[in-house]
């Protein structure tokens, strides 16, 4: 029965890791609670220095409809008002990379903007774009892989509950290990990348008026998925190759005399 209990716990934590990672992927894809509260980062535009970032635009009236916040998700970004309430979400082409120039370009509808180059941002943010975008892409791919591999590990877990084979045990351990590393890489790269971008933006906030903060809900979900995946791996490692408790009972107890049938004297 102990073996069955370990498998059930491994399956439970695998399921939790899969659901938490999947929810983190769905963040900021719609303007409905609670999806709209899940984002990797939130960019504040309340104190935006318009003349610095958009030097070619002379008509300041077009900035009246500019959102106060922009929430960046894995698939899209959402606009929020001064109360941080999401009003609408947009699917950005290439959202798997962080391109603040593109986001600001799409937010401002003006014929005076002809290319992304018209949107001026901190030089260090532009110089390091290729570096941190590779990390953002890695985070995106690893999150999706973590969800997929966790699903496969859950299927193997269910099959292993019904069938006793060493191959299934080791396959479950291998998939659980891969899922853990995929989610760990996703959590680590997302945290490190957006902390780095936040540092650049906040350091230049006085000049550009743009600030960034990390989305606590998203990182709680992705690191929670990482912890659940680790627990699933630990329980998979403790599963023995022998039969489960309920299967052992069906086999019956061994015969006396080393397996030979007992001889009885018939009177």
Given a cut of 70, whether residue 250 has pLDDT beyond it is no
Residue 90 φ/ψ, nearest 5 degrees: -125, 140
Least-confidence region, from 15-24, 75-84, 152-161, 230-239 = 75-84
pLDDT band at 150; cut points 50, 70, 90: very high
Residue 77 φ/ψ, nearest 5 degrees: -125, 150
pLDDT at residue number 154: 95
Q: Which residue has the tokens 């995929």?
A: 182
Given a cut of 50, whether residue 14 has pLDDT beyond it is yes
| Whether 21 contacts 183, CB under 8 Å | yes
pLDDT at residue number 128: 87
Given a cut of 70, whether residue 252 has pLDDT beyond it is no
- Count of CB atoms situated within 10 Å of the CB of 109: 9
pLDDT tens digits, 48-58: 998 899 888 88
Listed by start position, the domains of the chain span 2-246
Q: Which of 40-63 are b and which e, b meaning 16 or more Cβ less than 10 Å from the residue's Cβ?
A: bbbbbbeebeeeebbeebeeeebe
Helices (H), the chain: 2-25, 50-53, 100-107, 123-127, 129-162, 166-203, 205-208, 216-237, 245-251
Tokens of residue 173, six digits: 């351990």
Crossing angle between the packed helical segments 129-162 and 216-237, to the nearest 10 degrees: 40
Tokens of residue 3, six digits: 């073996």
Residue that wins the pLDDT comparison between 245 and 182: 182
Angle among Cα 47, 97, 15 to the nearest 5 degrees reads 105
Given a cut of 50, whether residue 247 has pLDDT beyond it is no
pLDDT at residue number 95: 52
| Whether 38 contacts 28, CB under 8 Å | yes
pLDDT tens digits, 120-145: 999 888 888 888 889 988 999 999 99
Q: What is the pTM of this model?
A: 0.83
C-alpha–C-alpha distance, residues 5 and 70, integer Å = 46
Domain 2-246 has CATH 3.40.190.10: no
* Mean pLDDT, the chain, whole residue set: 85
């Amino acid at each position: 029965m102990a073996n069955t209990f370990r498998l059930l716990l491994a399956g439970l934590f695998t399921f939790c890791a899969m659901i938490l990672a999947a929810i983190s992927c769905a963040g900021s894809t719609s303007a409905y609670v609670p999806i709209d509260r899940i984002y990797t980062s939130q960019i504040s535009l309340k104190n935006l220095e318009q003349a610095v970032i958009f030097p070619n635009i002379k008509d300041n009236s077009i900035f009246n409809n500019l959102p106060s916040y922009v929430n960046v998700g894995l698939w899209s970004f959402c606009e929020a008002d001064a109360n941080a309430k999401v009003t609408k979400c947009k699917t950005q082409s290439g959202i798997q990379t962080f391109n603040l120039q593109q986001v600001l370009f799409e937010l401002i509808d003006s014929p005076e903007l002809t290319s992304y180059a018209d949107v001026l941002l901190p030089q260090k943010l532009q110089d390091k774009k290729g570096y941190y975008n590779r990390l953002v892409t890695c985070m995106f791919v690893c999150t999706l892989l973590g969800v997929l591999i966790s699903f496969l590990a859950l299927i193997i877990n269910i099959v292993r509950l019904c069938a006793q084979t060493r191959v299934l045990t080791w396959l479950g351990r291998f998939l659980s290990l891969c899922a853990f590393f995929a989610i760990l890489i996703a959590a680590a790269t997302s945290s490190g990348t957006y902390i780095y971008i936040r540092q650049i933006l906040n350091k230049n906030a006085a000049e550009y008026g743009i600030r960034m903060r990390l989305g606590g809900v998203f990182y709680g979900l992705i690191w929670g998925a990482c912890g659940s995946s680790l627990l699933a791996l630990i329980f998979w490692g403790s599963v023995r190759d022998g039969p489960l408790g309920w299967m052992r009972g069906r086999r019956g107890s061994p015969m006396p005399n080393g397996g030979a049938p007992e001889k009885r004297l018939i009177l």
